[in-house]
Structure 1
Amino acid sequence: MAVTDDRPVVVTGASGFVGGALVRRLQREGVPVRAVVRTHGRGGPEALVGPALGPEADWSRLLAGAGAVVHAAAHVHVEAADTGAARLAFRRANVEGTRSLAQQAADAGVRRFVFISSIGVNGRRTKHPFTEDDAPAPEGPYADSKLEAERALCEVAQRAGMEWVVIRPPLVYGPAAPGNFARLVRWVARGVPLPLGAVRNRRTLVAIDNLTDLVLTCLRSDSAANEVFLAGDAESLSTPDLLRIVAKAQGRTARLVPVPPVLLRAAAVLIGRLADAERLCGDLEVDIGKACRVLHWTPPLSAREALRRAVTETAP
């Protein structure tokens, strides 16, 4: 199995929220780790500075003697215009950068390459929970690049005989989580009235502890080889339920105003924020049944307990 010997696991993106949490989890498990960051002083005193993602990057020094790679680094999604320049930047870092890293990993004798992709490869909204068997339906340059990167990895790995694993998480949350989750927590903490009381959606998130547990399982399990897995908590929540749980953890009551979702979407269109409205009002459910069946994996934390910890605990 990939991480039961003395060969280290290389983790890219180790200064990021997911990569950093994974490094700490592997260290607690006694797994030798090479934490790779882009800037000196980030990711802890033992972190190693790696190259920028791209086709010319030289990873040989960092991959020498490694048993596995977890590729969590990426040119990340930002609210930017879908321009040719944006697509070129995503493709260069996420597609060609992943292809180059995978090829060099195979050349270095790495046994298993775990790629942290995105549920955006499946799409932005669901009529039924996403599964691994659904046809990809990415929207936008970031999700497109993640799908292309998955395919590049599979192509390289199959040609070289290296095992690959793809994990597609939805929104990841936890103590000190960045982005949309952090904004929701701040809104609730400030007592901001939120026009979401009439929303009846279902969304799957994934706690950082649940995601890192799945990654560790994929490193250890022979059954994970050459498979795609969707990540998620065991239960989905509506946006109002999520806000109520967050508010309770803060010792507050969520101030939810019952505005019809159709009006929220119409207002969002007028101000150019439809994507934000969809994230708050739309459905995006993930079926984690394959990971549970194939890997005999169960998320260690319930969504409610993980949300409580995300609000009340401090990131290590």
Structure 2
Amino acid sequence: MKVLITGENGYISGQLYDYLNSKNNGFQVIKKSVRSNIENIDLNGIETVVHLAGLVHKKKGYPDREYIQVNCELTKNLALSAKKQGVKQFIFFSTMAVYGFQKGEITSFTATNPETVYGKSKLLAEKELERIASEDFKVAIVRPPMVYGPNCPGNYKLLSDFIKVAPIFPYIDNKRSMIFIGNLNVFIEEVMINRDSGVFHIQDPNFVSTTNMVKNIANINNLNIRISKRLGIILSKILKNNKLYLKVFGDLFYSTDLTIYNENTYQKYDFNNSINISEKKVSMYD
């Protein structure tokens, strides 16, 4: 199977590229930037496009129009070109942010309600792809929660770095959906092999507590960090409606029935193995 992965310099695209190339399963994988001259991209012989290229949410932000151009219009144009050139499947990476700043459980009855231009642009792209999809052009839309793994950027790295200098951390028993890069790779592989379509919500086998994650990271790195229930109570009272607090310690998770796919064989790595691999920064693809 000949596969094109977009997002040449992205973390997920790089990890997926290495994973598929490590497998002896007939994948021929190409990784390419598609930010310019999209109409001239040669997709001849490509069976599946995994579209990971996009404009992610940054602290300083970009003009709203740029999010729409990159995340929606570029996606639509790439999909139209792929369909015209005979590509059989288009896998689009959307985001949990299409649900907005939800708290608690997301189920099949939870309405999409993006509150950031990033989330809105991804949802617009989803709608465009659903219009383009057909029996001969399967579209799979993936809405992952936070992705983590060895050498990953983003919130996991910030938390891991913070733990290595912090003497104390609050005990707060929250519940979050996350997905380890190894489990995500297996999921994408299965979707390609099965040529599945639809909207997919994925996560690790177990929900994650931020405090439990901190304990695991500290143990692996032989760090002595004190977990304080009193500090947790104080923070929860003072900052309970603070967006940063909710992002770190709030409950936000997919219901388990929403994330069932192929008997969940994609959930290959459990929490302890995932954190161990992430912290030791070992390759999974040798």
Equivalent in 139, 143, 168 of residue 115 of structure 2: 139
TM-score (normalizing by structure 2): 0.89
Q: Which residue of 2 aligns with 1:297?
A: 264
Q: Which residue of 1 aligns with 2:153?
A: 178
Q: Where does 1:55-70 land on structure 2 (aligned, <5 Å)?
A: 57-61=38-42, 63-70=43-50
Equivalent in 2, 5, 17 of residue 11 of structure 1: 5
2:32 partner amino acid:
V
Say how many residue pairs are matched. Answer: 280
Deviations, residues 54-104 of structure 1 (Å, cap 9, x unaligned) = xx633532x1221010001110111246xxx63211101001011011100
1:25 partner amino acid:
Y
CA contact (8 A) 2:169 2:225 kept: no
Equivalent in 230, 237, 247 of residue 201 of structure 2: 230
Task: Give me the whole-angstrom Cα distance separating, in 1, the residues matched to 2:49 and 2:237.
Answer: 41
Q: Which residue of 2 aligns with 1:41?
A: none
- Alignment pair present for 1:26 and 2:3: no
Structure 2 unmatched runs, 5+: none
Q: Which residue of 1 aligns with 2:91?
A: 114
Equivalent in 263, 275, 278 of residue 310 of structure 1: 278
Q: Which residue of 2 aligns with 1:205?
A: 178
Task: Give me the whole-angstrom Cα distance separating, in 2, the residues matched to 1:59 and 1:264.
Answer: 53
Over the residues paired in the alignment, what is the CA RMSD in angstroms?
2.3
Deviations, residues 173-224 of structure 1 (Å, cap 9, x unaligned) = 000010110011111122x134422x121011110001111111111114x2
Equivalent in 51, 56, 78 of residue 35 of structure 2: 51
Change (3 A) 1:117 1:265: farther
CA contact (8 A) 2:167 2:224 kept: no
Equivalent in 212, 221, 224 of residue 250 of structure 1: 221
Task: Give me the whole-angstrom Cα distance separating, in 2, the residues matched to 1:218 and 1:188.
Answer: 36
| Structure with a larger share of its residues in strand | 2
Q: Where does 1:182-201 land on structure 2 (aligned, <5 Å)?
A: 182-190=157-165, 192-197=166-171, 199-201=172-174
Task: Give me the whole-angstrom Cα distance separating, in 2, the residues matched to 1:143 and 1:168.
Answer: 11
Equivalent in 263, 267, 278 of residue 246 of structure 2: 278
Change (3 A) 1:268 1:59: farther
Task: Give me the whole-angstrom Cα distance separating, in 2, the residues matched to 1:249 and 1:260.
Answer: 23
TM-score (normalizing by structure 1): 0.81
200-209 or 253-262, which moves further after superposition?
253-262
Deviations, residues 133-163 of structure 1 (Å, cap 9, x unaligned) = 42112221111111111111111224x8410
1:12 partner amino acid:
T
1:212 partner amino acid:
N
Task: Give me the whole-angstrom Cα distance separating, in 1, the residues matched to 2:170 and 2:278.
Answer: 21
- Alignment pair present for 1:165 and 2:119: no
Q: Which residue of 1 aligns with 2:104?
A: 127
1:162 partner amino acid:
F
Task: Give me the whole-angstrom Cα distance separating, in 2, the residues matched to 1:74 and 1:51.
Answer: 9
Task: Give me the whole-angstrom Cα distance separating, in 1, the residues matched to 2:200 and 2:40.
Answer: 26
What percent of counterpart residues are identical?
Answer: 25
SS state at 1:296 partner: helix
Change (3 A) 1:68 1:251: same
CA contact (8 A) 1:175 1:311 kept: yes
CA contact (8 A) 2:240 2:246 kept: no
1:312 partner amino acid:
K
Q: Which residue of 1 aligns with 2:31?
A: 35
Q: Which residue of 2 aligns with 1:42?
A: none
